[in-house]
Structure formats: structure tokens, C-alpha cells
Structure 1
């Protein structure tokens, strides 16, 4: 009969004592959960997010938060470090869902319409014999 042996540091009391010795751990967990929720909101609205990161530790933290954001949404996401050091997070199969593709198309059309209303047409009016 095999004994059920646990590592001493995996016991619940050992984990609690380790947490008590690191009071900032709960604050860090809360901050990373909040960060992941913000990324999830961006993914839900846009389908992607780009996060600025200064060093490798921040890049790894951003990628971890991006994967957590995917789990929050229940969607598969990809993360990648861009050449300028920023971290990109995106849903790779977002357009596989026809409803999501239609919503994204409507959102893009609405944004373009707003830009045209604010800035006018992109080409000069050629009807008055203007520059050619």
C-alpha cells in the first residue's frame, strides 16, 4: 500500500504562512486580475489589445494577463511580443463567428462614418475644375 505523502510546502497551513509572510501577494493578485479584466474588456470590444511593456518581466506579466483575459471571456487568444517591445493579444478565431464578424463590420462602418462627418471627404472636390 502506497503512502499518500505530500510535500510540506504544499500543505494548506504552509501556503497560508507563506501568504502571510508576503502581504503584497494578495494586492499583486488583485492588480493582475484587474489588468486581465481591462484586457478582456478591450478584447470583447475590439478583438485585440496592444500593451506597452518596458522590460521582459512586464512583457511576461502582460502576456499572462492576456491569457487570463481569454479565460475570463471563454475564448482562445494569442499573445506575441512585437518588435518594438509591446505585447499584442488577440482572438485568432474572432471572425469564425458570423455574428461577431457582422458586429465588427458594423462597428468599423460606424467609425468611418463618424470620421467622414467630422473631417469631410478624403478627396478634394474636382467638380469645380480644381487641381488635377
Structure 2
């Protein structure tokens, strides 16, 4: 009985534990990267809709959305839409008057760019 190794000390158990720790770290890094992307969208637009294929992706997207809120230091709401997508938004964004003006300016700029790309609305139309 003196030369019996404990299961936790066996090489295969150590490898398995190391692989599980590595996989957990990789999953955490992937979630953090997704949360960073969501935080960028929240900063720019105040909301984002994430397309999800199954319940695991929906739950992962909601976790990443909540993490994005912690990154930004803002309150965040998440919701699964009827289509199965996940919506993430900042519910208090409209209470800041400066943010409201900034959002309006951004929306106006996007509309101007879209109308400029479309060409003249009246008169002769350019050929397609």
C-alpha cells in the first residue's frame, strides 16, 4: 500500500486537470472578447442584437452582454427576442442629455451618408 498513488497525483489526472483549466481559460477569453465587441456597440449605438442559433449561444450572449455592462460601468438589460436573437441595451442611456444629443447627431450623419449614396431624389435619375 506504500506505493499507491492518489488519483489526483496520477499523470493522466494532472493532464486532464490542466486541459480543463486551459479550456476554461480559453472560454473566458472568448467571452471577454465578445463582451468587448458588445461594449463597443453599446458605446456607439446604445443597443445591439446578437443572432443566436441555440439556447447555449443565447445564454452565452446574455452573459457576454452583462459582462459588457461591467466593462462599460453601465446598467445593461438583456432579452431573448421572439426570433431567438438576444437584445442587449442600456436602459438609462436616454437620461443623459449629452448622450441624447450625440445619438441624434450620429443618426443624422448616418441618414445624410445614406441619402448622399442614394443620389438625387428628384429630377433625372442616374442609370443603374
Task: Give 3-state SS (helix, strand or coil) of 2:37's partner.
Answer: helix
**Partner residue, 1:113:** 112
* 1:19/1:25 contact within 8 Å kept: no
* SS in structure 1 at match of 2:78: strand
Question: Taking structure 1 as reference, are residues 87 and 51 closer, same or farther at Cα in structure 2, changes over 3 Å only?
Answer: same
User: Could you tell me how far 1:117 is from its partner in structure 2?
Assistant: 1.1
- Once the two structures are superposed, residues 40-66 of structure 1 have per-residue CA deviations (whole angstroms, 9 ceiling, x without a partner) of 001001100111111111100100100
Corresponding residue for 2:18? 20
When residues 85 and 67 of structure 1 are mapped into structure 2, their CA distance, relative to the original with a 3 A threshold, is same
Give the TM-score, by structure 2 length. 0.78
How far is the alpha carbon of 1:120 from its aligned partner?
Answer: 3.2
Shift of 1:111: 0.7
Other-structure match for 1:52: 51
Q: How does 1:57-76 map to 2 (within 5 A)?
A: 57-76=56-75
Q: Which runs of 4+ in 1 moved over 3 A?
A: none
TM-score by length of 1: 0.76
Unaligned runs of 5+ in 2: 1-14, 124-128
CA-based RMSD? 1.8
Cα separation, 1, equivalents of 2:115 and 2:66: 36
Alignment length (residue pairs) = 108
Structure 1 gap segments, 5+ residues each: 1-16, 126-132
Q: Distance in 1 between matches of 2:111 and 2:17?
A: 51
SS in 2 for 1:88: strand
